[in-house]
Structure 1
């Protein structure tokens, strides 16, 4: 996890897109070879990832390391006394986690998890450097053909703002729902 957290997202995007994915495709294609008396021949079909999937995989790997740390910290925040009391009541490991640890951890996890999700939405603009047709890439293509840079990038910024604000409001509503349930 420390490796993926320590490497910038843009570098990881380039690495997955131009090193990791082609090597995975080569490995996959190599495993499709079948032996024949005269030697090896390759099956006619080969597999490849589009740049969109390469970008999705890179963002997923990068942010999964951050999100895993958020969950780890939230779970460790639950006091030992809570889980020991549940164990004394005879709850299984699964029930202790589901009924005691996870509900308490979720209250601690939501704010940093929301921050990571908002950051991932904003960092998704980096996939435009791969030529993936996202909001930023479409804005770049449109503005270069119309020379309306100010208007285009205002719309692009507004679209990202709507996405991030909507996610923030959704997470805030979920947090308030959890707080209301605490008091009942």
Structure 2
């Protein structure tokens, strides 16, 4: 009888040990391939986090470039080589990394404005924008303004965007930008970008 009881006790202990060992193994397996309720594994979540970090770093770079552009276009010292009045075809370097040259300003009645206002006529402004940095910089045609001979502000016309206006310029590259403005007065015209003004 003692042998039977002893045998049952040993069997119970043996089965208990196997059961806890199997439970530990199962728990380890579950931890190594943890799944969320939607079936995503831990490794895919880690990859997604890594991808999001990379994307966030790229967005932070763009935000920095945009902040520099905004700050430098609103301060008097944003043109590092020349500021104030400059001549047509004279380049101006900005601390935000771009070099801008207004190469031509002319009234051109062969151009159609998308939404002309009373008394407006089309004026074409051509500018060369060069990115002197190694990173892309944002470009916005609305940063340019034109004034007519009466010092009245002209209006950037939406037909400008039919001219392949870039959203950004790659590092070390340049773009010739053609913009259409509606102006009420005649020449001499002046074009501004930040603190720089190109005059005829």
Higher helix share: 1
Higher strand share: 2
User: What is the TM-score with the length of structure 2 in the denominator?
Assistant: 0.23
User: What is the TM-score with the length of structure 1 in the denominator?
Assistant: 0.25
